Amino acid sequence: MAQPLQPLRIKKVKHAESSGSVYLTLPPAKRLIKKFDISVREADSELPPESGRVIPSAGSKGPVLIDGLTPGKRYIFQIRGQNAVGTSDWSQPVSLIVV
């Protein structure tokens, strides 16, 4: 029987090869998580994660590329998972200045 999801965390955020892009390494989905939502917003925003750009991801095979970011700006990244029981809370924020 499906159980509610435990709090998740982003494993790593690193710069991608192209300017304005980063890679997020998510926790392994296994069978517990059907999909992830990734929230991306500028760091000076005090709005909740849902107010940013929310990107759905069906799994966590390899790092997830997030592009279209503005170099020189600091961004906040958060994730949440969803399974048959519901959706987890948003993870703790991780921030990075994009190059």
The tens digit of pLDDT for each residue in 30-84 reads 777 889 999 999 998 888 999 999 999 987 777 999 999 999 999 999 999 998 8
Q: In order of start, what are the domains of the chain with their CATH numbers?
A: 12-97 (2.60.40.10)
User: Between the CA of residue 42 and those of 14, 29, 36, 55, what are the distances in Å?
Assistant: 16, 26, 20, 15
pLDDT tens, 38-50?
999 999 888 899 9
Instruction: Say whether 72 sits in a helix, a strand or coil.
Output: coil
- What is the reported pLDDT for 81? 92
Distance CA 26, CA 23 (A): 10
Instruction: Say whether 49 sits in a helix, a strand or coil.
Output: helix
Both tokens assigned to 42: 């500028």
Both tokens assigned to 17: 């090869």
Distance CA 38, CA 14 (A): 15
Is this prediction's pTM over 0.85? yes
